[in-house]
């Protein structure tokens, strides 16, 4: 109020004889004028402020003072009372606004009026002095609440909670829509991660018993006859249920084809067809049938004892349960026995195991390590990329402690001997280091879980002695501990993405803060320069995008070359394999006058095919990597400034190829071809090598034709993934430049709007930026602590 009194004493030499009140109906008009026509508002305010008794008559004769009264206060009269009322309302508005930028702009106009001789020095000093008394409106920015992570569970869950807390904190500070979209994708990506455990072993090894003990519920039947006669994938769901998947016609056709060579499979096929008769085609259809069933009915489809042979036609089962152990993306792959007569089920098992984070192989303590066990363990570790292997020795309650140690020692010796036999001795220490042995009494552990602990205790086994807690602790550490490769990869990749989002947001805030400190003239100059740079930058980016599109098309065409390369390598492998067998038969006949043993033939075929496929995939990776690296180097050479402008780019081509090509390592079960080769050797090996070679040609042509089709289809899918990843990789620097450039443009455009709109308070925005930078800084520090605490 004293400001208005001072104004009237200085301008009108009068005191106000009544309290003044701001008329709210004026606010909307004044706000609109200020925000849409800043210069006009300040011009009008300066003219209104200088109207006094000394110039009132002259002002009344001019159109501009009348016009500004009409614009700001919607009145066309020009009387002393109306002018004074308008001056009071203007001053009250400026006091309430508390914006120094507006007041200073009006004072500048008063200085101009004095310079032009329209008002005197004393008038300018007096009115400017009154306006300078208007205090800057105190800006209060609400503090953002920063949550802190408090969960202390295993490494993975603790890290997940930390990332979720970070995402929640960041969300309240982010402003750029593109960064918000990136942040919103992370929770979904974390939720979709999978940890896979493969359970393997020969029939009657105790897989179902141990699995029931782990899950704490007798879901899977246990019996002396094979119960889980198919692959069962156990996943999490709040409401338990199961899905049964039957063979389709093509898959069953392959089973029937195999039965022509393998007698065990022949009996299985005949039994199945005879048992189901006309109903067979309702379960084995062209596309394949799936049924959703109750968990309680599982045995009616999977048990060899209870399913009325229906288990013969079941390819796999998906079991959904609410048990805690399969939460957090864990899935358990419970496999049929390794001695399953249906080799197609073994092939499905092997394909699943190639993606397992952990394989648990069970061996009955009373049977020690069979040849099948040892071969499977070596195959898994040598050829199927199984990173960790837990060997569980079951039914330890049936043998003595000394015998148990002998079983473990014998298993290790058998693995070493088999590796040396295959000339893999150099990998001995590496493979043995991946194996952990834990002995358990599964049935007694299950008693404890089912509330029958007294029975187990009576036999001298508390829960700890059953060995199951050791298995659970091992699983916890391998899947979710700080040394878990997959857990670390998941956490590290998503943490890196969060940090990238924070850092980009902080850079944007810093740029905006610098703009807010510039004068209007400097902002206009910066915007004009950016518009000039934009044309050159857009032209530069178009050139880069054109080169990227060309590189992508060249890579697409190169995949055709790689497909041919893979096919030729398989043809070479086929010829090598045929020659090795033919040479071995010839050598044995000339040297020892007898045919090679069937086991030796089997070893030659399996080793040659697996090593051949490993070599094929390795060379395929190398050829793709070489081509990709060449494309990247071309871009760097052609657009050197582009590379440096985009910042330091690091790229691990080897890791990239391994990530995308790991699933190509696909092997078919060799039982059929081994049986066929041995049969041909028996018939023709002694008397007619020429006829043997013709038989081998026919066998291998059929086998490798199927393999070429399989790998062609596999590579076709993977090549699309590789191409998309390559495309993203090669255009990432250009995308980063474009995003940064457009981000800067958005900041400049916003600064231009703020410059013209005085209702946008710069000081308030600067405080808001600092508060959001504080939050992002805290989250970034917490993420660094998470990384260091691993």
Q: What are the pLDDT digits (tens) for 90-101? A: 999 998 888 887
CB-CB contact of 380 with 359 (8 Å): yes
pLDDT digits (tens, 9 = 90+) for 8-22: 888 888 887 677 788
Inter-CA distances, 487 with 194, 417, 681, 732, Å: 10, 34, 50, 26
The encoded tokens of residue 785 equal 């602590």
Selection from 40-54, 477-491, 744-758 with the highest mean pLDDT:
40-54
Q: What is the DSSP string of 401-425?
A: HHHHHHHHHHHHHHHHHHHHHTT-G
Q: What is the pLDDT of residue 659?
A: 64
Could you give the C-alpha distances from 607 to 348, 382, 631, 670, in angstroms and in order? 20, 11, 36, 10
Res 150: pLDDT: 66
Please tell me the least confidently modeled range out of 175-184, 617-626, 766-775: 617-626
Q: State residue 392's pLDDT score.
A: 92
Q: According to the model, what pLDDT value does residue 640 have?
A: 64
Q: What is the pTM of this model?
A: 0.71
pLDDT at 714 over 70: yes
The predicted-structure confidence for 629-651, as pLDDT tens digits, reads as follows: 888 788 777 776 554 444 444 55
**Torsion on CA atoms 114, 119, 124, 127, rounded to nearest 10:** -140
> What integer is the mean pLDDT of 33-59?
88
Q: Where are the domains of the chain?
A: 2-132, 550-734
pLDDT classification of 423: cutoffs 50, 70, 90:
low
Which carries the bigger pLDDT value, residue 656 or residue 626? 626
706 vs 669: CA distance, rounded Å: 12
Q: Please tell me which residue, 712 or 137, carries the higher pLDDT value.
A: 712
Cβ density class 149-181: b for 16+ within 10 Å, e for less:
beeeebbbebbbebbbbbbebbeebbebeebee
Distance CA 108, CA 359 (A): 79
> Quick one: pLDDT at residue 757?
63
Mean pLDDT of 66-89: 88
DSSP string, 465-497: HHSHHHHHHHHHHHHHSTT-HHHHHHHHHHHHH
Q: Does residue 424 have a pLDDT over 50?
A: yes
Q: How confident is the model at residue 339 (pLDDT cuts 50, 70, 90)?
A: low
Query: pLDDT class for 542, splitting at 50, 70, 90?
Result: confident
> Of 757 and 497, which is predicted with more confidence?
497
Going by pLDDT thresholds of 50, 70 and 90, the confidence category of residue 390 is very high
- Can you list the alpha helix ranges (DSSP code H) found in 593-688? 598-638, 640-645, 653-661, 671-684
The fraction of the chain above a pLDDT of 70, given in percent, is: 89
Task: State residue 227's pLDDT score.
Answer: 45
Lowest-pLDDT choice from 55-64, 438-447, 708-717: 708-717
Structure tokens at 404: 């148990």
The pLDDT tens digits of the residues spanning 503-518 come to: 989 988 988 888 887 7
For residues 62-73, average pLDDT: 88
Q: How far apart are CA 653 and CA 661, in angstroms?
A: 12
Instruction: Decide if pLDDT at 790 tops 80.
Output: no
Per-residue confidence (pLDDT) for residue 225, from 0 to 100: 37
pLDDT at 142: 67
Give pLDDT, residue 648: 43
Identity of the highest mean pLDDT range in 80-94, 139-153, 366-380, 706-720: 80-94
Token pair for residue 692? Answer: 């043997």
**Longest distance between any two alpha carbons in the chain, whole Å:** 135
HEC profile of 127-170: HHHHHHCCCCCCCCCCCCCCCCCCCCCCHHHHHHHHHHHHHHHH
Orientation angle between helical segments 671-684 and 520-592, nearest 10 degrees = 30
In this structure, what is the dihedral angle of CA atoms 644, 649, 650, 655, given to the nearest 10 degrees? -130
Q: Which helix (H) or strand (E) holds 362?
A: strand 358-364
Would you say residue 718 has pLDDT above 60? Answer: yes
- Percentage with pLDDT > 90 across the chain: 18
Range in 245-249, 295-299, 429-433, 472-476 the model is least confident about: 429-433
């Amino acid at each position: 109020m004293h400001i208005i009194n001072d104004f009237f004493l200085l301008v009108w030499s009068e005191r106000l004889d009544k309290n003044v009140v701001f008329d709210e109906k004026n606010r909307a008009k004044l706000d609109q004028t200020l925000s849409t026509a800043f210069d006009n508002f300040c011009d009008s305010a300066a003219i209104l402020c200088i109207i006094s008794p000394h110039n009132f008559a002259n002002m009344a004769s001019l159109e501009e003072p009348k016009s500004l009264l009409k614009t700001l206060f919607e009145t066309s009269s020009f009387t002393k009372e109306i002018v004074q009322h308008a001056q009071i309302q203007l001053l009250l508005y400026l006091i309430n606004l508390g914006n120094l930028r507006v007041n200073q702009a009006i004072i500048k106009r008063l200085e101009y009026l004095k310079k032009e001789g329209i008002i005197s020095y004393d008038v300018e000093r007096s009115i400017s002095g009154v306006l300078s008394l208007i205090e800057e409106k105190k800006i209060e920015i609400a503090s953002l609440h920063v949550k802190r992570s408090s969960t202390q569970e295993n490494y993975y869950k603790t890290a997940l909670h930390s990332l979720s807390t970070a995402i929640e904190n960041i969300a309240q500070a982010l402003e750029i829509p593109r960064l918000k979209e990136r942040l919103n994708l992370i929770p979904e990506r974390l939720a979709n991660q999978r940890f896979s455990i493969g359970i393997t072993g020969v029939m009657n090894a105790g897989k179902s018993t141990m699995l029931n003990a782990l899950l704490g519920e007798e879901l899977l039947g246990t019996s002396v006859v094979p119960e889980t006669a198919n692959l069962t994938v156990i996943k999490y769901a709040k409401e338990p249920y199961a899905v049964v998947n039957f063979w389709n016609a093509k898959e069953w056709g392959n089973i029937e084809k195999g039965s022509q060579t393998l007698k065990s499979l022949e009996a299985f096929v005949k039994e199945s067809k005879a048992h189901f008769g006309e109903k067979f085609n309702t379960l084995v259809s062209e596309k394949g049938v799936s049924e959703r069933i109750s968990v309680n009915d599982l045995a009616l489809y999977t048990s060899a004892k209870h399913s009325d042979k229906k288990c013969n036609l079941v390819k796999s089962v998906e079991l959904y349960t609410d048990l805690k152990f399969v939460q957090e993306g864990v899935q358990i792959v419970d496999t049929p026995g390794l001695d399953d007569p249906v080799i197609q089920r073994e092939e499905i098992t092997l394909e699943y195991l190639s993606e397992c984070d952990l394989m648990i192989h069970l061996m009955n303590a009373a049977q020690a390590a069979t040849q099948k066990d040892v071969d499977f363990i070596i195959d898994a570790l040598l050829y199927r990329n199984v990173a960790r292997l837990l060997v569980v020795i079951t039914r330890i309650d049936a043998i003595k402690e000394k015998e148990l140690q002998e079983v473990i020692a014998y298993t290790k010796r058998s693995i070493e001997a088999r590796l040396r036999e295959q000339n893999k001795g150099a990998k001995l220490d590496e493979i043995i280091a991946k194996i952990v042995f834990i002995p358990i009494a599964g049935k007694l552990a299950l008693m404890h879980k089912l509330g029958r602990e007294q029975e187990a205790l009576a036999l001298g086994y508390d829960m700890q002695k059953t060995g199951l807690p050791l298995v659970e602790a091992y699983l916890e550490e391998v899947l979710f501990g700080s040394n878990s490769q997959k857990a670390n990869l998941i956490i590290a990749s998503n943490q890196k993405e969060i940090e990238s989002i924070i850092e980009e947001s902080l850079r944007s805030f810093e740029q905006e803060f610098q703009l807010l400190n510039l004068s209007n003239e400097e902002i206009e100059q910066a915007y004009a320069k950016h518009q000039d740079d934009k044309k050159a930058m857009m032209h530069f980016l178009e050139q880069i995008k054109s080169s990227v599109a060309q590189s992508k098309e060249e890579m697409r065409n190169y995949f055709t070359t790689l497909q041919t390369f893979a096919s030729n390598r398989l043809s070479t492998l086929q010829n090598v394999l045929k020659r090795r067998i033919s040479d071995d038969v010839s050598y044995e006949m000339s040297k020892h006058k007898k045919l090679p043993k069937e086991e030796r033939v089997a070893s030659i075929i399996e080793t040659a095919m697996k090593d051949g496929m490993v070599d094929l995939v390795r060379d395929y990776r190398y050829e793709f990597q070489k081509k990709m690296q060449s494309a990247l180097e071309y871009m760097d050479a052609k657009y050197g400034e582009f590379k440096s402008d985009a910042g330091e780019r690091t790229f691990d081509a080897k890791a990239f190829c391994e990530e995308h090509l790991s699933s190509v390592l696909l092997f078919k079960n060799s039982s059929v071809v081994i049986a066929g080769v041995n049969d041909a050797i028996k018939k023709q090996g002694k008397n007619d090598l020429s006829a043997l070679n013709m038989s081998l040609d026919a066998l291998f042509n059929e086998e490798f034709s199927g393999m070429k089709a399989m790998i062609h289809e596999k590579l076709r899918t993977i090549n699309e993934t590789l191409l998309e990843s390559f495309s993203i990789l090669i255009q990432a620097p250009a995308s980063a430049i474009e995003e940064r450039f457009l981000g800067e443009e958005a900041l400049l455009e916003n600064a231009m709007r703020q410059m013209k709109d005085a209702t946008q308070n710069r000081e308030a925005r600067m405080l808001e930026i600092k508060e959001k930078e504080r939050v992002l800084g805290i989250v970034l520090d917490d993420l660094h602590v998470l990384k260091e605490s691993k």
